[in-house]
Structure 1
């Protein structure tokens, strides 16, 4: 840019600052808007459901997790499997063509049966996220859980 261009840009900047200044709280509002944009997914309810019979039956290698965003609910039952892996049995209460279990760059896909049941066999322990496309009256949307450990 030439000196003339620099002067023109400075004059335009001064004009806009005088006639339409940036709101003082714009940065804070934008941070809040971006942070809350994904709230339904990131803050999906995660509940650890304790099985009172596990200690009696000696079945200590199981965990049950529930996720919900108020419209979609998912329940996972995680059990130890042979060879140090895990078996994940799940149920979704909404119509979904596929459920994807993601761990970093790896993923496993399952197709829910008629009543929303799905399963993943021989999954290595680690941090995961469950992602599924849910069919609703208004179309489709993605439901994703926060990360959880199995």
Structure 2
């Protein structure tokens, strides 16, 4: 359908049509609302289109001891790829989380955590350890950028699938 055809059809709607379409939208939103994570997942997918990267596979996931006042459990998640393994421990802290991570084999690089519209970066120390503190809860994705800490390099990045923090 051409842009002219679409514009012509919109011009033919009157106030009653607009009212009926509004009622239809309200019914649809009440009976079949859009899941809250659709927008975030879509943004992650779009971000991946421009990224030439290796992808981590989920290797292991388990719950640990209860943590914090809400009794939530800390979680440990391990991802691996052909060249690198990353293990993260997610510590709930009220409305945010702390992510402690370890890379094997250890190497100088930068780790980014993408969550919503925000990117949090940190360097990895010589033992492969990194910490991301005060991370908002929600859908997130880790990206390991190989090379110098905090600057990255031309080497291929490795990213995790989206996880819920």
TM-score bin, normalised by smaller chain? 0.5 to 0.7
Relative to structure 1, the CA distance from residue 91 to residue 62 in structure 2 (aligned partners, 3 Å threshold; closer, same or farther) is same
The residue that corresponds to 1:80 in the other structure is: 92
Unaligned runs of 5+ in 1: 1-37
Question: Which aligned segments of 4 or more residues in structure 1 are displaced greater than 3 angstroms?
Answer: none
2:138 to 115, 118, 126: 126
Three-state SS of the structure 2 residue aligned to 1:98 is: strand
1:11-60 deviations in Å (ceiling 9; x for gaps): xxxxxxxxxxxxxxxxxxxxxxxxxxx8951x623421344xx26xx974
2: distance between equivalents of 1:50 and 1:85?
Answer: 18
How much has 1:103 moved relative to structure 2?
Answer: 1.1
1:49 and 2:62 correspond: yes
The residue that corresponds to 1:149 in the other structure is: 164
How much has 1:124 moved relative to structure 2?
Answer: 1.1
Unaligned runs of 5+ in 2: 1-51, 148-153
Q: CA RMSD in A?
A: 2.5
How much has 1:113 moved relative to structure 2?
Answer: 1.0
| Larger Rg computed on CA atoms | 1
Three-state SS of the structure 1 residue aligned to 2:99 is: strand
Relative to structure 1, the CA distance from residue 140 to residue 113 in structure 2 (aligned partners, 3 Å threshold; closer, same or farther) is same
1:16-31, aligned counterparts within 5 Å? none
Asked whether the 8 Å contact 2:88–2:100 carries over to 1, the reply is yes
Write 1 or 2 for the structure with the bigger share of strand: 2
TM-score (norm 1): 0.60
Relative to structure 1, the CA distance from residue 143 to residue 60 in structure 2 (aligned partners, 3 Å threshold; closer, same or farther) is same
2: distance between equivalents of 1:133 and 1:118?
Answer: 13
The residue that corresponds to 2:101 in the other structure is: 90
2:80 to 68, 72, 80: 68
